[in-house]
Amino acid sequence: MSFAVMIVDDSPAMRAFVRRILDMSGLEISRCLEAGDGSEALRLVRQNPVNVILSDINMPVMDGEELVRELNADPELRHIPVVVVSTDRTETRVQKMLALGARGYVTKPFLPEALRQELEQVLEVVHDRD
Amino acid sequence: MIAIDLTRLLAESASEVLETMYFTGVIGLLDAGPAGEWVCTALDFRGSRSGSLGVRAPLATARTLAESFLGAEPETIATPQCFEVLGEMTNMICGAILSRLAPEEQFSLSPPQPEPEDWCGKWKRHTIATVFELEEGALALWLDWELP
């Protein structure tokens, strides 16, 4: 099974890093979209459905918290799981993002294996639901 | 005593980020980095402690770090990409520092920005400033903070 992924981060370098990890992950990625903030991510995902979104929190225009809120408020999009990728490792923030509807949380810096495992876990959940 | 602790704080935080995502590590301290062109990025953080963090590297080191991070061929790395990669490193090192200083406090971080090449003149005015020797090159960190 192949997956469409969206990477949301205001850092082009981090987006390239994550894309590189996805390329090496062994997962079959059919399409990898990139967005620089939550607003661009929403615009893109409405036109190009994806299986999972990997999103930073701290971004200009629309941050990751607002992105998760917007996705969950949209009946067409709320099924898309979001894995948060952030430097903020406080338990308060982790629990807040999970309560808002994020499915996973990976703190930067992270080993490629950690992101791959999180992604596999989330995608398996989606697969089971399908 | 404070300076020693802060140096350790910077070293541990830089090591965590470098070893995890840049495939290199801190091997010691330097009195000064090599001569030549350097690139620098910095950000501000706000919370129970507010301040700023800067990360500076010789251009050659920044290029090597960018190669490792992006998995790109050396000849394809342009200077703007060095700034982008160093900026992301600044972001992650700041997160690592703050999580050690105040593990359960939330901070707001500004986007990392390129800093002008006047770092040498400002060096002694920072709360702490240290140059680390890496397996390949050097990396300098400065940290300023103020209590609310």
Residue B35 belongs to what domain range? 2-146
Q: Give yes or no for a contact between B86 and B39, defined as CB atoms under 8 angstroms apart.
A: yes
pLDDT, residue A130, reads: 46
CB contacts < 8 A, A to B, total 60
Total domains in chain B come to 1
User: CB of B92 within 8 Å of any CB in chain A?
Assistant: yes
Contacts of A97 (CB under 8 A, 6+ apart): A57, A64, A65, A68, A84, A105
Q: What is the CATH number of the domain that holds B64?
A: 3.40.1550.10
Find the helix or strand (DSSP H, E) in which B41 lies. strand B38-46
Whole-number Å distance between alpha carbons of B131 and B13: 14
Residue A10 belongs to what domain range? 3-129
pLDDT, residue B48, reads: 85
Find the helix or strand (DSSP H, E) in which B68 lies. helix B59-70
Taking the mean position of all CA atoms in its chain, how far away is CA B24? 14
Least confident of A67-81, A114-128, B50-64: A114-128
Q: What is the CATH number of the domain that holds A53?
A: 3.40.50.2300
Smallest CA–CA distance, residue B128 to chain A, in Å, is 22
Confidence of residue B123 (pLDDT cuts 50, 70, 90): low
Do B88 and A13 make contact, defined as CB atoms within 8 angstroms? yes
Q: Average of pLDDT values for B100-124?
A: 78
Total domains in chain A come to 1
pLDDT, residue B31, reads: 86
pLDDT, residue B118, reads: 58
